[in-house]
A and B are shown apart, each in its own frame.
Chain A
Amino acid sequence: MNTIEVSHLRKFYSVFKKEPGVWGSLKSVFKRRYEEVRAVDDISFNIKEGELVGFIGPNGAGKTTTLKCLSGLLYPDSGFVSVLGFQPWQRKPEFQKQFALVMGQKNQLWWDLPPMETFLLNKEIYEVPDEQFKKTLEELVELLEVEDILKIQTRKLSLGQRMKCELIAALIHSPKVLFLDEPTIGLDVIMQKKIRDFIKEYNQRYQATIILTSHYMGDVKELCQRVLIIDKGQLVFDGALEKIVKKYAEHKLISVVLSEKVSLEKLKQIGKVDKYDYPKVNFRIGKKQTSEITSKILEELPIVDLNIEESPIEEIIRDLFTKKNYR
Chain B
Amino acid sequence: MKKYLQLAKITFEEYLVYRLNFYLWRFRSFIVFLTLLFFWLAIYGDRTEFLGYQKAQMITYVIGIAFLRTIVLGSRSADLGPQIRSGELTKLLLKPIKTIHFWFTRDVVDKGLNLFFTIIEILAIVWLLKLSFYLPYHLTTYFSFAVLSLMAIFLYFFLSFTLSVVAFWTEEIWATRWLFGVIFLEFLAGAFFPLDVLPSWLTKIIYLTPFPYLVFFPMKIWLEQLNSGEIIMAIFICLIWLIFFWWLAVFLWRKGAKNYGAYGG
A binds B: yes
Residues of A within 8 A of B (CB): 13, 64, 68, 71-75, 89, 91, 93, 96-97, 100-101, 103, 105-106, 108, 110, 112-113, 117, 120-127, 153, 181
Given contacts A64-B265, A73-B260, contact A125 B91 (CB under 8 A): no
CA distance A113 to B16 in the complex (A): 10
Residue of A nearest to B102 (CB): A125
Known A-B contacts: A64-B265, A71-B94, A124-B6. Give 18 more (CB < 8 A). A73-B260, A74-B262, A75-B258, A75-B259, A91-B257, A96-B94, A106-B87, A106-B90, A106-B265, A113-B17, A120-B6, A120-B10, A121-B7, A121-B10, A125-B3, A125-B6, A127-B96, A181-B265
Given contacts A73-B260, A127-B3, contact A113 B265 (CB under 8 A): no
User: What are the residues of chain B within 8 A of A13 when measuring CB–CB?
Assistant: 261
Q: Are B5 and A124 in contact (CB under 8 A)?
A: yes
Q: Does B14 contact A (CB under 8 A)?
A: yes
In the complex, which range does the number of interface residues on chain B fall in?
20 to 34
Q: Are B13 and A117 in contact (CB under 8 A)?
A: yes
- Option from B14, B87, B90 in Cβ contact (under 8 Å) with A112: B14
B7, B259, B261, B265 pick with most chain A CB within 10 angstroms: B265
User: What are the residues of chain B within 8 A of A100 when measuring CB–CB?
Assistant: 94
CA distance A75 to B262 in the complex (A): 10
Given contacts A112-B17, A120-B6, contact A91 B265 (CB under 8 A): no
Given contacts A110-B10, A112-B18, A117-B10, contact A72 B264 (CB under 8 A): no
Q: Are B94 and A121 in contact (CB under 8 A)?
A: no
User: What are the residues of chain A within 8 A of B90 when measuring CB–CB?
Assistant: 73, 103, 106
Q: Does B97 contact A (CB under 8 A)?
A: yes
Q: Does B47 contact A (CB under 8 A)?
A: no
Q: Does B130 contact A (CB under 8 A)?
A: no
Given contacts A72-B93, A75-B258, A97-B96, contact A113 B6 (CB under 8 A): no
CA distance A123 to B5 in the complex (A): 12
CA distance A64 to B13 in the complex (A): 34
User: What are the residues of chain A within 8 A of B138 when measuring CB–CB?
Assistant: none
CA distance A285 to B96 in the complex (A): 55
CA distance A64 to B264 in the complex (A): 9
Closest-CB distance, A165 to chain B (whole angstroms): 14
User: What are the residues of chain B within 8 A of A105 when measuring CB–CB?
Assistant: 264-265
User: What are the residues of chain B within 8 A of A117 when measuring CB–CB?
Assistant: 10, 13
CA distance A127 to B1 in the complex (A): 10
CA distance A121 to B4 in the complex (A): 9
Q: Are A110 and B265 in contact (CB under 8 A)?
A: no
Closest-CB distance, A154 to chain B (whole angstroms): 11
Given contacts A68-B262, A73-B90, A121-B10, contact A126 B95 (CB under 8 A): yes
- Lowest 10 A-B CB distances belong to which pairs? A93-B96, A124-B3, A124-B6, A73-B262, A108-B91, A96-B96, A103-B265, A112-B17, A106-B265, A125-B3
